[in-house]
Amino acid sequence: MSQRSRVVNLYKTLLHLGKDYPQGFEFFRTRLHRVFLKNKDETDPEKIEKMISHGNYIVKELEALYMLKKYRTLKRRYYNEQQ
């Protein structure tokens, strides 16, 4: 897979994950767009790889954040804290 397609795929993934962002989708989308535009002229393949790996790290962090949020919601909903 070429670097360009990986970057586009990463952007789409992050955009999809941004729908559940706590501060709102519009906040997330504008910041994401700004970051990708800032680095659009980068040509060094090593730097691009580094940025892609950092983006994948962000994806994993967002997924963990959402799972934790769901876990806390379920815990609050089904387990009564009577201590």
Neighbours of 55 (CB within 10 A): 19
Tokens, residue 75? 């815990």
pLDDT of residue 70: 87
As for how many domains the chain has, the answer is: 1
pLDDT of residue 50: 95
The reply to whether 29 falls in a domain is yes
Helix axes 3-17, 25-38, angle to 10 degrees: 160
- In angstroms, the Cα distances linking 23 to 13, 14, 31, 55, 59 are 18, 15, 11, 19, 17
The reply to whether 83 falls in a domain is no
The reply to whether 39 falls in a domain is yes
pLDDT of residue 77: 86
Range of the domain at 24: 3-78
Nearest Cα residue to 46 out of 37, 54, 34: 54
The reply to whether 38 falls in a domain is yes
The tens place of each residue's pLDDT in the chain, 83 residues long, gives 799 999 999 999 999 999 988 889 999 999 999 999 999 999 999 999 999 999 999 999 999 999 998 888 888 888 876 54
